[in-house]
Amino acid sequence: MKYFIITILITLLILIYIIFYIQKKAAVQAAEKEKNYKILQEKKNIEDQELLKEIKVKCDDGIVRIYSESMFGILREYLGTKEVKIRLQDSDDEQYLKLSNELFFSSKGVLLDKDEILVQSKKYIEKKEEYLSRYGQFHSVIKPNIALGQYSSGFGSLGKPDSAIVINNMLFESRQLNRLRRYTNLTFDFYKELPIRTFSGFVDEIEYQDGVAVS
């Protein structure tokens, strides 16, 4: 009986020690996690301040606009939206879409040409994905509904277009990509709408080839 009681006591002591050890380890891990979180948050705040610094840029059209690094290389100006009837080349399917009209400049104010628009749009996504890979835990994030590997694939593999967009007087197929919700002081509109490739087809019976009206 004596040995049985001793065995029970030893077992209880071992269990108490194990519970204490687990709780202590969990507390240490939680403290370390909180410490790392605050360090990363401070790092993010510093980076955000740099991203949000605004500079005046004189653009190719002579207008001075405001650029910040949070624009990730594309200085955009929205000019308006109208509803149009669109039909892709070699297709009988017509659909009505909202057609946005914008200007795209570089960070230096240079008006982008067709190839630069597509290159910079892809870089825009890559830079924002890179940012989110570092600080996504501080945001309520909806992942974009397009993968970088599909970026230049156009309507053919992505289905019917959500929208089309005129950029610098050229027409592009585009996707209305998901948005990043605001959670901290750094506001991202996420990807808004970005061109996928130049448009070939008909808009309100006007024919376009490689983004340019031909009739």
Is 62 in a helix, a strand, or coil?
A: coil
Tokens of 144: 């974009």
pLDDT score of 24:
81
Of 135, 137, 148, nearest in space to 191 by CA: 148
At 88, list the tokens. Answer: 């892709």
Is pLDDT at 16 greater than 90 in this prediction? Answer: no
pTM (whole model) above 0.75: no
The continuous run of DSSP H or E covering 198 comes out as: strand 193-198
Report how far Cα 143 is from the mean position of its chain's Cα atoms: 8
Q: How far is CA 117 from CA 1, 86, 127, 150, 170, in A?
A: 86, 22, 15, 17, 10
Per-residue pLDDT at 177? 55
Range of weakest confidence among 36-40, 46-50, 151-155, 158-162: 151-155
> What does the pLDDT look like over 65-124, one tens digit per residue?
999 998 999 999 999 989 999 888 777 788 888 888 999 999 999 999 999 999 999 898
**What is the number of other CB atoms lying within 10 angstroms of the CB of residue 174?**
26
Collect all residues with Cβ–Cβ distance below 8 Å to 84 and sequence separation of at least 6. 96, 97, 98, 99, 164, 203, 204
Q: In this structure, what are the phi and psi dihedrals at residue 84, rounded to the nearest 5 degrees?
A: -135, 165
pLDDT tens across 147-175, in order?
A: 443 443 334 334 455 678 999 999 998 87
Residue 96 contacts residue 82 (beta carbons within 8 Å): no
3-state DSSP call for residue 87? Answer: strand
Among left, alpha and beta (phi > 0; psi -120 to 50; other), residue 185 is alpha
| Rounded Cα–Cα distance for residues 97 and 19 (Å) | 63
